[in-house]
Amino acid sequence: MLKNHRITQIEDYEQFVGAEAIERIMKKAKSLQYLHVANVSSTYYGGGVAQLLTSLTLLMNSVGIRTGWRVIQGARDFFSITKKMHNALQGETIKRGEEGWKDLLAKRGSLDQCLGRSESDKFLLGFCLRFITKFRI
């Protein structure tokens, strides 16, 4: 059993980055406190995104930025497409006609079946379709 366990606060990083850096972060965070940030990923555990969001979500809340974390549900082919999008945003070359992209284009009309009907799912679907259109995949 953990004793004296508590959630890390931004002030706990002062010993590593200095008081001035913490003050700058707090000042910048104050101007963002009206926002509600929703992080989206495919899982709460495993992988780099989950590891980062675990700490980031807590720290953003600790500086007054209302932050949540949502996990999306989807079919296997949906996640193969979102992984390609993720890699493209990280700088990987997008190849027109690559397997998966063709499949998505063929399914554009029915892609929403891969997702639920929540507002966040509809937003994500719109994002995916705008991404495809912007990059003319």
Per-residue model confidence as pLDDT tens digits over 116-136? 556 655 666 666 666 666 655
- Return the ∠ at Cα 106 (arms to 101 and 108), rounded to 5°: 90
The mean of the pLDDT values for the chain is 76
Most confident of 21-35, 45-59, 74-88: 21-35
Name every residue whose Cβ is closer than 8 Å to that of residue 36 and which is 6 or more positions away in sequence.
66, 67, 68
